[in-house]
Structure 1
Amino acid sequence: VQELAVTVDHGRKTLLDEVSFPVGEKTLLAVVGPSGAGKSTLLGALTGQRPADRGTVLYDGRDLYRDYAELRQRIGLVPQDDILHLQLTVRRALAYAAELRFPGDTAPAERHARVEEVIGELGLTERADQPIHSLSGGQRKRVSVALELLTKPSLLFLDEPTSGLDPGMDRSVMHMLRGLADDGRTVVVVTHSVLSLDVCDRLLVLAPGGRVAYYGPPGDTLSFFGFDQWPEAFEAFETERERDWAGQYRGSRFHRRYIEDATVRPYAPVPGGAGAGEVPSGVPAPPPKAQSWGGQLRTLVRRYTAALAADRTFLAIMVALPFVMGAMARALSEGSLNPESTLNVLLILCVGGVLTGAANAVRELVKERSIYRRERAVGLSRSAYLASKVVVLGTVTVVQAVVLTLVALVGVPLNVPDGKGVLMPALVEITLAVALLAFTAMMLGLLVSALVRKEEVTMPLLVLLAIVQVVFCGALLNVRGTPVLEQLAWLVPSRWAFAAMGATIDIGTVAPSEKTADPLMDHTVTAWLFDMGMLVVLCLVLGIAVSRLLRRHEPVVMRR
């Protein structure tokens, strides 16, 4: 690591300040420091999640940022948040991860053998068929590490792996990391815990401002600072702001031995090889052949379907919602669609379609953000990921919409003046309109999920979405001819679905009023196809927008 520097606010604030250090193989390095010292920033720079503004990260003489496409397969990263589908069992989660991460020509038997090998290596054999959500914090962290070890990375990073664990579990996790380093890996762990630093080979202490206050053996750290306990040292970082921690270290024997001398040796010129700090000669090995786009899509669809099927709460809501909304619409029909009930029935169908679609999708991207970010870093296709969501959620949503419409209208006289819709039977056309509305609302839910930062804010936004659909659909207000209101309604899916259903039943004749005297609701093929076509256009626009928003959550080095 050579002179990494990261600044924000146009250079006015420094997060990392000329950080340099070497890490060898079979080494366990812990990174500690007070809050705001730049530990997470350093981790982002070392893994390519957020490359440094200046400086280089050389991995076996290769520039990480330049050769990221190849080196990312040799780097494992366990973020603080879980990168697992908690509903799946340990073995199934690892099996799906192996399918996504292994080269496309890997034999299934080879993947299975590697999964079983990692399960045994991490001591998870007895828990292999247990759902991940039922595991303890330490066991869950072991599964996260196991997932990263599938591809046999030689460099493993962990962000706060012992956060929230009791001292015993803390010690257990650190000893596990010690064992992984002894097996030949380089392990770098960012931590707030100082309970088990004695098992590490090297300790990097960052002072406020992102400067190196110490790098060397953990046992010499406190004596170097002049303290007996770690709390005293951390308190000093906060209170002695004027103390030149980095300068004190640069003038010490530790800096000369563990940084200056150790940095020269790995990059010393060798006969026929590269010069100091240069990339070795020869053509870099190409990255392993990733799984094809279709293969990724099939794996993602199977994994997502399995995760949803294991979520009993989601299944209960998914089954109950269309029946409840359909029963409400049926009750409001008063036995048939008449001038008094028609608007109410179509309104409930619109609200039901929007709720079923948006409720399915509004949490799906934000709750998997850590998973997506990590899998994207190791080669996951963004479009395959989004397509898997659309395929699975779209299928669920369309089925719900069909059930909703049939519960509401089967056996209910629609009283269409000529007895049929504009192209097909009236019930079929209404079902298609509700299904397409629900699908569009699902895409809108994915957009919200891609926009928000926290899962907790999705439910209030879902309520807001439902209210907007009610206001702008055209059942309560006359949106046609009202400046601004009419233009805003063009962006609301329920406006077009309501108009399509109105065109099907010739609502201007069945329930004549100022609100239904709308060309979009004319009982003509042109009006119906235009309304349905606008829903398709909205779907496509929303899909493009979601894809662009997903890009924001990818490693920065992949966007360059």
Structure 2
Amino acid sequence: MGDILKDLVDPAELVAIKVGGESAQFKLDRTVTVGRKRHFVRKNQPQISLNDPLIAFVQGKLAHYLGEWHYQNLTILNRTSVNGNPLQKGEDHLLKNGDIIRIQRGSEQMIFIFLLRFAGELAWKKLPLRTEQAVYHIYSHVRRDLPISEEETPDKPADHHALIRYIYGHWQVEDVQTERGVYVNQRRVDGTMVLAPNDVINIGDTVFYFAGDYLAYNHTTFREHDLQIHIDHRSVGSFLKRRLLLKDIRLSIEPGSMVLILGGSGAGKTTFINAITGYEKARAEIRQGDRDVYEDYSRMKYEIGMVPQQALLRGDDTVYMTLTNAAQMRLPAGTSSAERRQRVDEVLALFGLTPVKDELVDKLSGGQRKRLSISVEFVSDPSFFVLDEPDSGLDGVMARDLMEQLRKIANQQKIVMVITHTPDRVIDLFDKVIVLAKNSQHTGQLAFYGSIPEARQFFGRDTMEDIVLAINAKEEGGEGLADHYIEAFREYRKTSEGQEAVQVAKKKRVKGSTDADEIAHTRRPAQVKIYLGKLFRLFIHEHDWVLLPLSAIISLMVAFVTGKSLFSNMERLQAGAFALVCVCIWNGFFNSIQVVCRERAIIKREHRAGLHISAYIMAHMIYQAVICLLQVIISVAIYEWYGIRFPDTSLVTGNFLMDFGLTLWIITYASDLVALMVSCIVKTTTSAMTVMPFLLIVQLVFAGIIFPFNGGVAEVVENLTISHWGTVAICAIGDYNSLPSHALFASIYQFRSIPEVQEIVDYIQSSDLRMKMDVLCAQQMQKPLYAGTLLNILKSWGVILLIGLVCIVIGTISLEFIDRDKR
């Protein structure tokens, strides 16, 4: 029967703290007695034996009855109280999580803290309290396996946060609007409460013991979600010569921590954050709980919020639509529209962006753009944030306001890591600091990791800026002590008392489904829809439609040059076809030559957050197909309005204008895809506009109209150009081989200034010889390439589209490697 009851007992924990001494932890999974250790008696030893004369040999008993833990006092040799209430001998007390049992005799005191869940043998940590700092943030995390109180709901987690302030010669604790409350000796704090030595503070599931000049605390919650970092090295370079950027960095960061990343120029700060977020992989193991960031990157990237130094946002979009698109991309696929809108509104309110939600991003101030950039990452509620100089370019007030927003994020059980070059103005908001130093071989290494007070004590410096000066090289204006502190910290971690061991857990990956496995994020079709909506919104509201009037002007110029008799003879048709093809190619190139490269940095950020490159390209392909169609419709309408006389016959659709328009659209669209490929490959708009004239020249020269080619490499290139096959398609639908040719008569006519030749010209024009000459000349000028057959038309269309599709595949593959772009 006892074994059965034992199996039903959830292990609890009893923490014993000797005032002025060390702490001990005991696992409770059955009824146990508490007492003083008997040195010469082996039998009847208490299960919890303490070698302290304050404790009676039989002090008390902890028992589990019907799902509840009880403590019974069994002695009169000292004074026992629970949460300040005296407990007489034989009296029993029902225990709750965080209850404090005090054993006192005179000035001696032993404190027992009861915890409802056993969290393992975790070392308690000490936080020295410096009166000159004046303010400390302390916090906890809601542990999901504990019962939820009546006033707290599962969808409304508490924000456990308190301040420890030194004021008027006393330390006091202040509740920062938590829902579950801050308790001192199990009495809820109403506003503020002055602390006395040996007080016990409970915030959520974290217990703080106030010793007067330091806090001891047990960060026991969410240990399985620590960010564990083990970087062996990160290097760059070629096979023959490599440069080591980082090496030997091992640390663990708990949820709810706001961590400062400190270091001089070239110490590897940006390399470090790129390595831990999986953006630039190192030889490392980066884990959060049982998930490996590198191996599970397809899922873990949704848990990472990376905010770059530059606010990589589309300036021609509104604040609200920027966040809406981010929510569409990053929230789970099953999220409803109402839930997305609610999340967007919550994030807007949290970061103070509601008043400017309808403003264009380009119209925002520097601070607002920074907050919007953070909001884009926060909308998906990732588990840890990394920010590269978020306060750069901001004044002190704006920087403070931004950092306080980050503190609020950390208080929601997130890990927030920040690089900043002005840390001292906001140092009170940080929990810990990572100091990276560049050793004598110019490799970044860990010079310190711990709390802010511990960093000051370790380096013997009062400010973070002084710490940076200490580790900077002498030629950089520093003291050149990097190697010294790197080695000192290596020893410090081994020997310093009260420090948590910094190591990476070598856990095996858990097989089977997890919550992360079950969450389906936005798939390709949904992403195509999202980006299509963005592109068409910009087309309507941001004047991207200006391309259409430009196409109309160019089409009117071509109509004027080719004249109304475009389809009257071979020469006019071939020349006119070439002119029409040039217009289509120009329109296609101009449409998309810059669309990708101008926002390449934004695409890189979004790709890291889950954007499928194929979905992004497909959205552009659909959008550009519509733009090309509108351009062709306008062009055909202008040609019709101008009075160009079109043939009546049609080999494909039964309507010549339909055949003609479809041909122009295929040429324009294929050219658009070629330009889209270029925009995917090049990295800047300057490079794109440099390549564009070269592409146009290739299309002009190798069309086979200006310079006919007969074999060789030139003919191979000719068969790979859109201009060549576009001319073939237009000549085929215009039935080139059935038209007359004026070539022979034109060659005679150009010499009409000679009297004898003028007589011949007059004779030809006054008889039916002119017609016979045109027919005979046409028979000689016929080209099988321009045959007006259905098969020939479809062949030319197919080749043109194939060229475009091959190019877009190349462009898509190229863009898939966008994460390799240099920072």
TM-score range, shorter chain: 0.7 to 0.9
- Answer with 489-498 or 293-302: which moved more: 293-302
Residue equivalent to 1:56: 285
Amino acid at match of 2:814: L
Deviation at 1:88, TM superposition (A): 2.1
Question: Is residue 395 of structure 1 aligned with residue 626 of structure 2?
Answer: yes
Query: How has the CA–CA distance of structure 1 residues 125 and 467 changed in structure 2, closer, same or farther, with 3 Å as cutoff?
Result: same
Q: 1:22 aligns with which of 243, 248, 252?
A: 252
* Residue 500 of structure 1: how far off its partner (Å): 0.6
Q: 1:215 aligns with which of 426, 436, 449?
A: 449
Matched, 1:96 2:330: no
| TM alignment of 1:221-300, pairs within 5 A | 224=459, 232=469, 236=473, 238-239=475-476, 245-252=482-489, 255-256=492-493, 264=501, 276-279=505-508, 283=512, 284-285=514-515, 286-300=517-531
For residue 308 of structure 1, the aligned residue among 539, 542, 560 is 539
Q: In structure 1, how many angstroms separate the alpha carbons of the residues matched to 2:471 and 2:560?
A: 67
After TM superposition, the structure 1 = structure 2 runs for residues 26-425 of structure 1, keeping only pairs within 5 Å, are 26-52=256-282, 54-194=283-423, 196=425, 198=427, 199-206=429-436, 207=438, 208-217=442-451, 220=455, 224=459, 232=469, 236=473, 238-239=475-476, 245-252=482-489, 255-256=492-493, 264=501, 276-279=505-508, 283=512, 284-285=514-515, 286-312=517-543, 314-316=544-546, 318-337=547-566, 341-414=572-645, 419-423=648-652, 424-425=654-655
Distance 1:124 1:254, change over 3 A: farther
Residue 811 of structure 2 aligns with which residue? Answer: 546
Q: Do the aligned partners of 2:624 and 2:672 also contact (CA within 8 Å) in 1?
A: yes
**Letter paired with 1:495:** H
* Cα-to-partner distance string for 1:90-132 (whole Å, 9 max, x where unaligned): 1222122212222222222221111111111111111112121
Distance in 2, matches of 1:535 and 1:258, equals 72
Q: Which residue of 1 aligns with 2:236?
A: 8
Query: Is the 1:474–1:498 contact (alpha carbons within 8 Å) kept by the matching residues of 2?
Result: no
Coordinate RMSD, CA, aligned: 3.3
In 2: Cα distance, 1:345 partner to 1:319 partner: 22
Using the alignment, how far apart are the partners of 1:499 and 1:110 within structure 2? 54
- The answer to whether the 8 A contact 2:252-2:502 is kept is no
SS at 2:233 equivalent: strand
Work out whether residues 32 and 190 of structure 1, in 8 Å CA contact, stay in contact via their aligned partners in 2: yes
**Cα distance, 1:421 vs structure 2:** 4.4
Separation in structure 2 between the aligned mates of residue 123 and residue 431 of structure 1, nearest angstrom: 51
Between 1:367-376 and 1:426-435, the stretch displaced more is 367-376
TM superposition shift of 1:425? 4.1
Change in CA separation of 1:265 and 1:240 when aligned onto 2, cut-off 3 Å? closer
- The answer as to whether partners of 2:396 and 2:425 remain within 8 angstroms in 1 is no
User: Does the CA contact (< 8 Å) of 1:4 and 1:18 recur in 2?
Assistant: yes
Map of 2:795 onto structure 1 = 530
Q: Distance in 2 between matches of 1:259 and 1:380?
A: 45
* 2:610 alignment partner, SS class: coil
Shift of 1:165: 3.6
> Distance in 2 between the 1:389 and 1:438 partners?
14
Q: Partners in 2 of 1:361 and 1:46 — Cα distance?
A: 35
- Closer/same/farther in 2, CA of residues 259 and 490 from structure 1, 3 Å limit: farther
Cα distance change on mapping 1:537 and 1:19 into 2, 3 Å: same
Tell me which moved more, 225-234 or 141-150: 225-234
Q: Matched residue of 1:348: which SS? A: helix
Within 5 Å, which residues of 2 pair with 1:507-518?
507=736, 509=739, 518=783
Equivalent position amino acid for 1:488 in 2: V
Which structure has more helix as a fraction of its residues? 1
State the distance in 2 between where 1:456 and 1:358 align.
15
Aligned pair count reads 542
**Does 1:431 find its partner at 2:661?**
yes
How far off its partner does 1:280 sit?
Answer: 7.4
The structure that has the greater radius of gyration is 2
Quote the offset at 1:348 in angstroms. Answer: 2.9
Asked whether the 8 Å contact 1:329–1:349 carries over to 2, the reply is yes
CA pair 4-429 structure 1, distance change in 2 beyond 3 A: same
C-alpha distance in 2, partners of 1:260/1:321?
Answer: 74
2:679 corresponds to 1:449: yes
Question: What is the one-letter code of the residue matched to 2:230?
Answer: Q
Map Cα deviations across residues 310-329 of structure 1 (whole Å, 9 max, x no partner): 322x322x122211111111
Task: Say which SS state the counterpart of residue 473 (structure 2) adopts.
Answer: helix
Give the AA of the match of 1:450: C
Tell me, in whole angstroms, the C-alpha distance in 2 between the residues paired with 1:552 and 1:119.
33
| Counterpart contact for 2:387–2:417, Cα < 8 Å | yes
- How far off is 1:535 after superposition? 1.0
Look up the SS of the partner of 1:500 in the other structure: helix
* Aligned-partner Cα distance in 1 for 2:413–2:495: 20
* Structure 2 counterpart SS, 1:20: strand
The 3 A distance-change label for structure 1 pair 552 and 252 is: closer
Displacement of 1:493: 1.3
TM-score normalized by structure 1? 0.86
More displaced stretch, 510-519 vs 358-367:
510-519
Secondary structure at the aligned position of 1:57 is classed as: strand
For structure 1, which segment, 110-119 or 251-260, has the greater mean C-alpha deviation from structure 2 after superposition? 251-260
Task: Give the aligned partner of residue 270 of structure 1.
Answer: none
Give the superposition deviation at 1:501.
Answer: 0.6
* Stretch of structure 1 that moved more, 126-135 or 366-375: 366-375
Q: Where does structure 1 lack aligned partners over 5 or more consecutive residues?
A: 268-275
Q: Cα offset for 1:21? A: 2.5
CA deviation after TM superposition for structure 1 residue 76, in Å: 1.2
Distance 2:303 2:725 in 1: 50
What whole-Å deviation, never above 9, does each CA across 1:206-258 have from its counterpart, x for those lacking one? 32422224434457469938798568558636558995624533314894289
User: Partners of 2:604 and 2:497 in 1: how far apart?
Assistant: 35
User: Which whole-Å deviations, capped at 9, do the CAs of 1:498-541 have from their partners, x for residues lacking one?
Assistant: 11111222345455779976432222323222111101211221
What amino acid sits opposite 1:66 in the alignment? E
TM-score (norm 2): 0.60
Match of 2:729 among 500, 524, 538: 500
| Whole-angstrom CA distance in 1 between matches of 2:735 and 2:581 | 17
Q: Render the CA deviation track for 1:71-93: whole Å, top value 9, x for unaligned.
A: 32222112234443322221222
3-state SS of 1:183 partner: coil
Which digits, 9 at most, give the CA deviation of each residue in 1:332-387, with x for residues without a partner?
02332256654443233222211222222122222333333333334333332221
Aligned counterparts of 2:658 and 2:275: Cα–Cα separation in 1: 56
Gaps of 5+ in 2: 1-228, 744-777
- Cα 1:344–1:167 change in 2 (3 A) is farther
Deviating more after overlay: 514-523 vs 460-469: 514-523
Runs of 4+ in 1 over 6 A off after TM superposition: 225-228, 257-261, 512-516
1:258 and 1:388 map into 2 onto residues whose CA distance is 58
| 1:273 corresponding residue in structure 2 | none
CA distance in 1: counterparts of 2:477 and 2:702, whole angstroms:
60
User: Counterpart of 2:598 in 1: which secondary structure?
Assistant: coil
Task: Give the superposition deviation at 1:291.
Answer: 3.1
Q: Secondary structure at the match of 1:29?
A: strand
Conserved 8 A contact 2:447-2:489: no
Shift of 1:544: 1.8
CA distance in 2, matches of 1:237, 1:172: 35
